[in-house]
């Protein structure tokens, strides 16, 4: 793994949850990390734990919705031989009915999931193509397979990310660079719990961060898309022609997930 994806990985959204799991598993393979996230404290805690495995770790506390962030990241990593970009910073940052919601907050969802992702992927993609090896792992969501009420912008952004990864996979394979969209379902992360999701619903398929990160790294060469956590059949159902009953069913599932009293 280190020969293809090392010696350095850049992990956007690397302070906790799935991002931290990536950092730990890459450290086990001897790969150093640059961890990027908004909150300095969890960022520092994860960095210290990963360093204990004998690798180097740099941190950058930046909000990726800030237009200046991509340039700062480029500058901070300019002296490193980066072999892997993991873009794990696309959590849903705002949920609201589209026509009555805050346009600025919705723009942040687009900036985090599309604008910043494109900027970093272009920069590191150029570097990886030039070195003739490496990988780009974009973390997606099952939300991108079907529109849902109050997260319509987020769902659309995730659909964009998947189709973008498919095209990028075709382009960069000619340069020896692996591209994978790792599609997550419900995953037990701090961000999910802060969002108030009800993870205790009977029959709900809840994945662990370590497991989905491991799947992503194991299948990085099997792009363009990998459905994590045993959700392949659920995605196939969502990806069919969007009949009204399927759309309403997805809406009801999201309502139950967001309402612990239901």
Cross-strand pairs, 126: none
Rounded CA gap, 126 and 150, in Å? 36
Closest alpha carbon to 54 in 80, 28, 72: 28
How many Cβ atoms from other residues are within 10 Å of residue 251's Cβ?
Answer: 15
Backbone angles phi, psi at 239, to 5 degrees: -80, -5
Q: Which residue has 């960095």 as its token pair?
A: 47
Helices (H) and strands (E) in the chain, counts: 11, 7
Check if the beta carbon of residue 134 is closer than 8 Å to that of residue 5: yes
Cross-strand pairs, 139: 182
> Is 87 one of the annotated active-site residues of the chain?
no
Q: Which helix (H) or strand (E) holds 243?
A: none
Rounded CA gap, 150 and 218, in Å? 34
Distances (CA, A) of 25 to 17, 22, 119, 210: 13, 5, 25, 8
Structure tokens at 3: 């020969």
Single out the catalytic residue among 5, 87, 154, 175: 154
Residues serving a catalytic function are 154
């Amino acid at each position: 793994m280190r020969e293809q994806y090392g010696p350095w990985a850049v992990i956007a959204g690397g302070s906790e949850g799935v991002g931290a799991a990536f950092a730990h598993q890459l450290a086990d393979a001897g790969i150093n990390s640059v961890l990027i996230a908004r909150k300095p404290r969890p960022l520092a805690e994860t960095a210290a734990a990963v360093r204990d495995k004998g690798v180097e770790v740099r941190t950058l506390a930046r909000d990726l919705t800030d237009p200046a962030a991509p340039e700062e990241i480029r500058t901070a990593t300019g002296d490193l031989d980066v072999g892997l970009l993991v873009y794990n910073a696309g959590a849903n940052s705002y949920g609201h009915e589209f026509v009555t919601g805050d346009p600025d907050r919705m723009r942040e969802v687009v900036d985090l999931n599309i604008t910043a992702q494109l900027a970093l992927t272009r920069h590191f993609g150029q570097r990886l193509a030039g070195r003739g090896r490496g990988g780009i792992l974009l973390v997606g969501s099952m939300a991108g397979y079907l529109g849902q009420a109050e997260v319509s912008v987020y769902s659309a952004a995730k659909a964009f990310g998947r189709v973008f990864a498919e095209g990028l996979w075709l382009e960069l394979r000619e340069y020896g660079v692996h591209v994978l969209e790792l599609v997550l379902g419900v995953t037990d992360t701090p961000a999910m719990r802060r969002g108030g999701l009800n993870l205790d619903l009977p029959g709900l398929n809840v994945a662990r961060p370590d497991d989905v990160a491991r799947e992503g790294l194991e299948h990085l060469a099997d792009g363009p898309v990998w459905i994590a956590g045993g959700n392949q059949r659920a995605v196939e159902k969502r990806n069919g022609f969007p009949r009204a009953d399927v759309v309403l069913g997805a809406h009801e599932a999201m309502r139950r997930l967001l309402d612990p009293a239901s």
